[in-house]
């Protein structure tokens, strides 16, 4: 493991004004997204859509530091034969890869899940590195409900996250450690705070046990936020303050950066929360975004599977990327949402 090089990649992933595009939707997930815009999900249509994003020059070169890819995508070539990985690199961004293989029910813990995919991961990482991937992602899912999460679910998922991270660093790949406490449910923001604190403390305990170098990783957590079904939704400033307070308690300063997931928030909501956190200032880590739907919902709708709509889709993507770029610097304003990206 060359920690200097890992840290260099990690720092580039959270470069000022830039964040990550999570384009790693599974085949099943992107089919649902395409169904919503009445586009058939085929290998070709998925390729065309992602090529449209990666060829959005303004967004990719100015606002996107890296792209998380799905296994299918990292091997694909654009219509002109250029590997999609090369398109990302030519834009000045870093290719990354999702390496977990989804979730399965956790035995003995009704309603809880464990992420799988550690078997043969070392070999897969070596192949991905050869293909150009310099960082990876593994998502653990923690739900909040009656009597859950259990300590068992937190421990098992934290252990797997740390094992994955150690394997990544051994393969000279920066791990994105993503313990997602879901915002589904009717819990309030304080319940989210308590559960996320338990999860992050356990994750960092496991990372230390498995000798993961914190300087060579990125944390991708949920924000401290009210559940979607909670009758009282916490305002933007409360979300920002409680998220920062929690991270100061749980996230060591050695971690180069924190790239938040949007977790089902609306586009502008995710941007507003990130902006409010960066306005607080005086933080030991860089705060940025690692958004999927919050960056892609608008361009997907504008594109709608039609080649003549590619410029409109790219403009929509560039606008959302710019809004989140501004949020990483605490410079976003709501009235900017009505203006087109430059």
> How large a percentage of the chain has pLDDT more than 70?
99
Closest CA to 18 of 274, 281, 303, 219: 274
Statement: residue 30 has pLDDT above 90: yes
Main-chain phi, psi angles of 254, to 5 degrees: -65, -25
Helix, strand or coil for residue 178?
strand
Delineate the domains of the chain, giving CATH numbers in brackets.
3-338 (3.20.20.70)
Reply yes or no on whether 248 is catalytic: no
Active-site option among 18, 98, 137, 220: 220
Q: What is the average pLDDT score of the chain?
A: 96
pLDDT tens sequence across 200-228? 999 999 999 999 999 999 999 999 999 99
Do 310 and 317 contact (CB within 8 A), yes or no?
Answer: no
**Residue 120: which residues within 8 A CB-CB, separation 6 or more?**
none
Place of tokens 């003549």: 308
What is the spatial distance between Cα 36 and Cα 56, in angstroms, rounded to a whole number?
A: 23
Mean pLDDT to the nearest integer, 236-242: 98
Do 172 and 1 contact (CB within 8 A), yes or no?
Answer: yes
Closest CA to 174 of 334, 300, 8: 8
What is the spatial distance between Cα 137 and Cα 176, in angstroms, rounded to a whole number?
A: 5
Do 165 and 175 contact (CB within 8 A), yes or no?
Answer: yes
Closest CA to 290 of 251, 315, 253, 262: 262
Closest CA to 305 of 75, 85, 44, 24: 44
pLDDT tens sequence across 83-112? 999 999 999 999 999 999 999 999 999 999
Question: Residue 239: pLDDT band by 50, 70, 90 thresholds?
Answer: very high
87's tokens: 């398109």
Active-site option among 25, 178, 180, 206: 178
What is the spatial distance between Cα 220 and Cα 290, in angstroms, rounded to a whole number?
A: 7
Reply yes or no on whether 220 is catalytic: yes
Helix, strand or coil for residue 142?
strand
Q: What is the pLDDT of residue 275?
A: 98
Q: What is the pLDDT of residue 244?
A: 98
Q: What is the pLDDT of residue 5?
A: 98
Find the radius of gyration of the CA atoms of the chain.
19
> How large a percentage of the chain has pLDDT more than 90?
96
Do 246 and 256 contact (CB within 8 A), yes or no?
Answer: no
Q: What is the pLDDT of residue 339?
A: 63
Mean pLDDT to the nearest integer, 162-177: 98
Statement: residue 341 has pLDDT above 90: no
Main-chain phi, psi angles of 271, to 5 degrees: -70, -45
- Least reliable range by pLDDT among 145-149, 165-169, 214-218, 338-342: 338-342
pLDDT tens sequence across 280-291? 989 999 999 999
Statement: residue 342 has pLDDT above 70: no
Statement: residue 340 has pLDDT above 90: no
Helix, strand or coil for residue 264?
coil
């Amino acid at each position: 493991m060359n920690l200097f090089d890992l840290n260099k990649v990690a720092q580039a992933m959270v470069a000022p004004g830039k964040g990550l595009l999570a384009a790693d939707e599974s085949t099943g997930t992107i089919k649902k997204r395409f169904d919503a815009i009445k586009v058939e999900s085929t290998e070709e249509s998925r390729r065309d859509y992602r090529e449209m994003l990666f060829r959005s020059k303004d967004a990719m070169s100015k606002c996107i530091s890296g792209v998380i890819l799905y296994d299918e995508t990292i091997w694909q070539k654009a219509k002109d034969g250029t590997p999609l990985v090369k398109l990302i690199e030519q834009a000045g961004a870093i290719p990354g890869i999702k390496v977990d293989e989804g979730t399965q029910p956790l035995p003995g813990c009704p309603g809880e899940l464990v992420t799988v995919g550690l078997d043969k991961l070392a070999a897969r990482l070596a192949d991905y590195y050869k293909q150009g991937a310099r960082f990876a992602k593994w998502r653990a899912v923690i739900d909040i409900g009656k009597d859950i999460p259990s300590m068992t679910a937190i421990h098992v998922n934290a252990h797997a996250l740390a094992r994955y991270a150690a394997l990544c660093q051994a393969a000279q790949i920066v791990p994105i450690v993503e313990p997602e406490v879901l915002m589904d449910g009717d819990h309030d923001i304080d319940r989210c705070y308590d559960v996320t604190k338990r999860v992050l403390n356990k994750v960092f305990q496991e990372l230390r046990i498995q000798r993961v170098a914190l300087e060579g990783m990125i944390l991708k957590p949920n924000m401290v936020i009210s559940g979607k079904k909670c009758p009282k939704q916490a305002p933007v400033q409360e979300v920002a303050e409680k998220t920062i307070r929690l991270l100061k308690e749980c996230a060591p300063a050695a971690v180069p950066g924190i790239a938040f997931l949007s977790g089902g928030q609306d586009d502008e909501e995710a941007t507003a929360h990130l902006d409010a956190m960066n306005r607080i200032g005086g933080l030991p880590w860089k705060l940025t975004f690692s958004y999927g739907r919050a960056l892609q919902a608008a361009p997907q709708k504008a594109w709608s599977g039609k080649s003549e709509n590619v410029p409109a889709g790219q403009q929509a993507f560039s606008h959302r990327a710019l809004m989140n770029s501004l949020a990483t610097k605490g410079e976003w304003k709501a009235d900017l949402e009505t203006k087109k990206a430059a």
